[in-house]
């Protein structure tokens, strides 16, 4: 894992997940204290959390036995589960650069359920944070939605209330992993996976001939397809460009681009947004004194804008990603946006929530860029630089949009400003 760690919130303070190691499948999963051979009493519950059929970790990772080491004892109960899930996801994805503090119970549908003593755990966390030097911008506190009210921040770190694991993972800077094997719900319906892949040799509509041609394309297609399936869009673009250097490569690349074009979403992306407004800045923390307004292109009314929230919904089979950029001094004024929010997975789409530290004054702007396609994009994404800064009708923005279109993605953007 990277230096940024995942912590289990407990009533005695956060317990850092130090490592997660696969064990022999015949062994029961254990949680050990600080690298010692001391197995904590919560281990049987952890084993049940890991192992199929009831456990959710094996569904994610495909492995059914682990050893987890934690820095401090973990309370009995189930509230360690959310942090453990995030820890496992981070371990599978090579780590995260977000420091996570989490509490919550995770059920078999990956919903996050309320737990007790959240206030006590947050108080203990606050005492801990007073002695630490953690970058609040690169940290997140995740608690279950539906429980008693929680502060918006603890020592500057945002407290996010989540209803599902996917949201929590997004706040943690992680992607929601696909699960290994079928997920059986009580009603027998298959749950929508948090992340989709384009299967190799998928043929959409009347593309049988294309498939035959693609067969001729052979190994390149397989390789590009696999890379796309992993969300390595920029790598595919680079590889396609390199393939175009020779005649046959050019043909193959063109064919693949055509194929990508066929997989571009047909449904438009719907975007809605709301602003949370208060009479004065000091009222931003008082839920009773807040007002919620729908987002329009401009906001000219009196009052302070405490928070903005946007939701984008794409087609049923589409993956929706994007960024929300905040320009306090106006769109494009400055080398980069003051805040860039990745958002979190939502039902059939994505949600972005921005709690303002520097409340928007006249001239402040936000740009929401929503990208929809067949896969979740991973790795470097240089197109955001232009998509978040350039005016919508500018050639720079249009070039970035086309670039993504050629890779099978649609781009939808929304602008807002404070007047």
Partner 1 sequence: MPADDPIRKLALAALDADAQARALLSPEGARARVSFSDLYRYANDPGFVLAPELGARLAVDDAAQADLAHLLANGAFAHIPRQAAAASGAVERRETEKAVLVLTPSRAGAGEVYLSIELRDASARPPSQLFARKTGEAWQRLALPVFSDAQTQVLLDADAALARALADPETEVYLR
Residues at the interface with partner 1 (CB under 8 A): 19, 21-24, 26-28, 30, 32, 35, 37-39, 41, 43-44, 67, 69
Q: How far is the CB of 157 from partner 1 (least distance, A)?
A: 31
21 vs 329, which CB is nearer to partner 1? 21
Under a CB-based contact definition with an 8 Å cutoff, are residues 99 and 138 in contact?
Answer: yes
Q: How far apart, in Å, are the Cα atoms of 412 and each of 268, 269, 292, 324, 389?
A: 8, 7, 24, 12, 14
Q: How far is the CB of 93 from partner 1 (least distance, A)?
A: 20
91 vs 410, which CB is nearer to partner 1? 91
27 vs 272, which CB is nearer to partner 1? 27
17 vs 214, which CB is nearer to partner 1? 17
Nearest by Cα to 59 from 176, 227, 162, 199: 176
HEC string for 46-61: HHHHHCCCCCCHHHHH
The encoded tokens of residue 42 equal: 């919560």
43 vs 274, which CB is nearer to partner 1? 43
Nearest by Cα to 120 from 75, 169, 165: 75
Q: How far apart, in Å, are the Cα atoms of 367 and each of 80, 173, 347, 416?
A: 37, 20, 22, 7
38 vs 132, which CB is nearer to partner 1? 38
Under a CB-based contact definition with an 8 Å cutoff, are residues 134 and 4 in contact?
Answer: no
Q: How far is the CB of 45 from partner 1 (least distance, A)?
A: 9
37 vs 245, which CB is nearer to partner 1? 37
The encoded tokens of residue 116 equal: 């007790």
Q: Which helix (H) or strand (E) holds 416?
A: strand 410-418
Q: How far is the CB of 126 from partner 1 (least distance, A)?
A: 33
Q: How far is the CB of 80 from partner 1 (least distance, A)?
A: 16
The rounded Cα 195 to chain-centroid distance in angstroms is: 10
Q: How far is the CB of 44 from partner 1 (least distance, A)?
A: 4
Q: How far is the CB of 21 from partner 1 (least distance, A)?
A: 4
């Amino acid at each position: 894992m990277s230096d940024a760690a995942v912590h289990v919130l407990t009533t005695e303070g956060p317990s850092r997940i130090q490592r997660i190691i696969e064990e022999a499948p015949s062994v029961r999963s254990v949680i050990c204290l600080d690298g010692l051979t001391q197995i904590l009493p919560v281990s049987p519950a952890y084993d049940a959390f890991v192992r199929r059929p009831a456990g959710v970790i094996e569904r994610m990772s495909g492995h059914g036995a682990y050893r987890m080491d934690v820095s401090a004892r973990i309370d009995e109960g189930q509230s360690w589960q959310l942090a453990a899930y995030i820890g496992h996801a981070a371990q599978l994805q090579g780590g995260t650069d977000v420091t996570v503090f989490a509490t919550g119970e995770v059920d078999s549908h990956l919903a996050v359920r309320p737990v007790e003593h959240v206030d006590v755990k947050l108080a203990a966390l606050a005492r801990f944070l007073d002695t630490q030097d953690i970058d609040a911008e690169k940290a997140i506190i995740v608690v279950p939605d539906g429980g008693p009210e929680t502060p918006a921040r603890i020592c500057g770190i945002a407290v996010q209330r989540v209803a599902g694991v996917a949201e929590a993972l997004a706040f943690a800077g992680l992607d929601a992993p696909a699960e290994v094997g079928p997920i059986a719900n009580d009603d027998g319906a298959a749950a929508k996976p948090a992340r989709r892949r384009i299967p190799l040799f998928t043929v959409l509509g009347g593309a049988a001939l294309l498939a035959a041609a693609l067969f001729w394309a052979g190994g390149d297609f397989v390789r590009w397809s696999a890379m796309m399936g992993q969300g390595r869009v920029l790598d595919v673009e680079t590889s396609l460009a390199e393939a175009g250097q020779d005649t046959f490569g050019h043909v193959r690349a063109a064919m693949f681009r055509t194929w990508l074009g066929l997989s571009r979403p047909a449904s438009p992306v719907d975007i809605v947004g709301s602003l949370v407004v208060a009479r004065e800045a000091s009222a931003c923390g008082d839920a009773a004194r807040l007002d919620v307004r729908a987002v329009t292109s401009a906001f000219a009314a009196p009052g302070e804008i405490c928070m903005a929230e946007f939701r984008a919904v794409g087609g049923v089979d589409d993956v929706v990603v994007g960024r929300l950029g905040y320009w306090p001094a106006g769109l494009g004024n400055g080398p980069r946006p003051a805040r860039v929010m990745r958002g979190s997975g939502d039902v059939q789409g994505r949600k972005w929530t921005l709690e303002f530290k520097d409340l928007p004054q006249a001239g402040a702007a936000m740009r929401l860029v929503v990208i929809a396609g067949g896969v979740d994009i991973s790795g470097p994404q240089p197109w955001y630089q232009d998509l978040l800064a350039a005016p919508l009708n500018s050639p720079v923005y249009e070039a970035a949009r086309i670039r993504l279109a050629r890779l099978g993605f649609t781009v939808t953007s929304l602008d807002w400003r404070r007047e």
